[in-house]
Structure 1
């Protein structure tokens, strides 16, 4: 009988992908809060905004968009994709 080969991945790879995913989730949450005019004075919205601003890195203002909605989507959407790609790349390289 042939031995089964399992490819469960390493804990480091899973951790790196998870971190990238969580950072992207914060950015997407901030985008949703801004686009749907979630109460900015609320504690949750303030906490997410404070966490999202430094995570957006250099993406805000990188591309000028004609509308506010498109600008927010580009600024934080590109940053979220960056963190997802970086987490996956680091997981593949180091895991």
Structure 2
């Protein structure tokens, strides 16, 4: 294989990893945003029958992974804040870590 061809393959690989890294970061950010919006809607006592509130809640539930019942304070609003907030932080940290690992592969 020629040096020119090898250089082209490396650039292509680096471009692919760069795109993949950006996608991983965006997915983590979007997941964290959905969870944060769920927290805000819940704490602000948004109408639970509203379509937007139902849509966000439906997406937040599976994105919270096992964090939904991690903390059990007496105040239900604090419970939502702590549990879904922890899940949002998890997505930000996990996607950031995954992006760093991917960047190291480039």
**C-alpha RMSD over aligned residues:** 1.2
Structure number with greater CO (CA < 8 Å, separation at least 6) is 1
Distance 1:29 1:69 in 2: 14
Q: Which runs of 4+ in 1 moved over 2 A?
A: none
Task: State the TM-score, normalizing by the size of structure 2.
Answer: 0.77
User: Per-residue deviation at 1:66?
Assistant: 2.7
Residue of structure 2 in register with 1:57 after alignment: 65
The residue that corresponds to 1:27 in the other structure is 35
Task: Measure, in 2, the Cα distance between the counterparts of 1:90 and 1:55.
Answer: 17
Task: Supply the distance in 2 between the matched residues of 1:52 and 1:60 (Cα, whole angstroms).
Answer: 10
State the partner residue of 2:26. 18
Name the counterpart of 1:94.
102
Q: Distance in 1 between matches of 2:41 and 2:92?
A: 20
> Structure 1 length normalisation: TM-score?
0.86
- In structure 2, list runs of 5 or more residues that go unmatched: 1-16
SS of the residue 2:68 aligns to? coil
Partner SS for 1:70: helix
